[in-house]
Structure 1
């Protein structure tokens, strides 16, 4: 059975890469990619011109005021683009070859919701660039019953702006992210995003096996693989009289004398009876 426990560092058990490794070495870009918006506070520095160094807040209309330039709109620009825009305006009759550096001192109030199989599901404020792993960690990590996938619901418009009617759902493979270190799954969280962590699908093996219990369901799982996960038969097992108890549409049915290559469905109960001979 596999599960996740993000807050524990270093990771143990089946995980092949620690969450700390993912956060430190994931190619997630820099703050230069952060999109500036109303409410952000920016520290703007012009190299060799300390008199132009200033701290500004983006107003409700998405504009700032800057010495020599005056007021201009910045909404939709990332930090790098804004630096270039200010350099271009300063170079237009004010400074020769200006070099501008911008640091986001305070981020506007941005929030995202995470629900499902995390230890503290809630609405959280996003501070700076926040990835999926960071949001999960903020929510206390994944529960032992966390499933393979997370589903992120995001509101977009046709031109990519936020807070418009159209929604998209992004399916994220948490198992690939955590166990295989696939950082392409560690997407950035945006304001208004809603993340749902699914519950692990399980099957149950009982009767004459060495370790009866619940086991994770995997696509293509067969009876023999499920029994192998339960460490095999006991000496008293009847391998030819295995049953599967399955519920479909609320109706329980019993499949008798199933073959070893029979496909197992989520929530199936595999019963290995005792041999009387």
Structure 2
């Protein structure tokens, strides 16, 4: 069992030796300057010289476009293009795509290229030059000098939360990697809020961390989306156990009483296992106490109850006659946190 341990604070309740701290934090999204973009398309040779390779994606929070970005990139208003026409330097100029998706080409006029790739746009302009009998065999070369990209916000349990500049759709796995990868507290649920249409659409992804699960590569993230990596559930085991603290529920979030006690290295000599109980916060704010028939579980006469996220499994110490439930719940806010694999 590989173990990752987070900070441990002083025990707040002397009678419950072992009540420890779980420190919570909130990931804040921070903006990054957009990268400089390069890439060309030629009317008579589609796909030439399209971009440069990406840098180490796990170290960046701003995406450097890779070749397939330019082959699939759809032009939109705001892009600034540099146009060169072979053997016709008088036609070479800069073209800004206006709000209607048009560019004004010398001797041709307005050409609509919104939604086209650079290869398609070069072909459209070249065809207009040919149709207008301006050139017999126009060879148009387009280069992006400025682009109008959109951010993807990556929030939650990633190492470098913030905004990533995307030109084209990418797999969810790539986007998470660009945000530095998941933290040890990341759960198995990721939410994607797609920025398509008037009302954003929310998609919830449940996946396994096993290497043969293709979910992360199958899911597409598009410019304008927001990705949130949810934190895994945590259960707390406090009181008369060898290693009290919080334990992250990974791989489906299932953990029962017996497994939780095993992770806490079992009960201590002074543990009153007959008084063991689960303390659970209900959605309405009330607290429910569930007795655990530990002796029956040991003898195989009863199944081990399953725990839910934020449950507290409390094992009283024989010397401690009464402990307020509110004191126990407050102790979880400063409990050591363990991640197991």
Give the Cα separation in 1 of the matches to 2:177 and 2:274: 47
Q: Could you say which structure has the greater relative contact order, defined with CA pairs below 8 angstroms and 6 or more residues apart?
A: 2
Give the Cα separation in 1 of the matches to 2:166 and 2:254: 41
- Name the CA shift for 1:62/1:261 in 2 (closer, same or farther; >3 Å): same
TM superposition shift of 1:156? 2.8
Q: Which residue of structure 2 lines up, in the alignment, with residue 268 of structure 1?
A: 311
1:220 to 246, 251, 254: 254
Unaligned runs of 5+ in 1: 6-17, 158-164
TM superposition shift of 1:63? 0.8
CA contact (8 A) 1:107 1:127 kept: no
- Give TM-score scaled by structure 1 length: 0.66
CA contact (8 A) 2:75 2:117 kept: yes
Unaligned runs of 5+ in 2: 6-26, 28-55, 298-302, 320-341
TM superposition shift of 1:244? 1.2
- After superposition, the C-alpha distances for 1:230-277 in whole angstroms (9 at most, x for unaligned) are 3x314525666542111112121211124453211111011234589x
Alignment RMSD: 4.5
CA contact (8 A) 1:19 1:178 kept: no
Q: Which residue of structure 1 lines up, in the alignment, with residue 58 of structure 2?
A: 20
Q: Which stretch of the first structure deviates more once superposed, 238-247 or 93-102?
A: 93-102
- Give TM-score scaled by structure 2 length: 0.56
- After superposition, the C-alpha distances for 1:100-152 in whole angstroms (9 at most, x for unaligned) are 44332211264455555567877x58364585678768878766654443323
1:171 aligns with 2:204: yes
TM superposition shift of 1:178? 10
CA contact (8 A) 1:22 1:181 kept: no
Q: Which residue of structure 1 lines up, in the alignment, with residue 234 of structure 2?
A: 202
Q: Which residue of structure 2 lines up, in the alignment, with residue 149 of structure 1?
A: 189
1:107 to 138, 144, 147: 147
Corresponding residue pairs, total? 250
1:256 to 270, 287, 291: 291
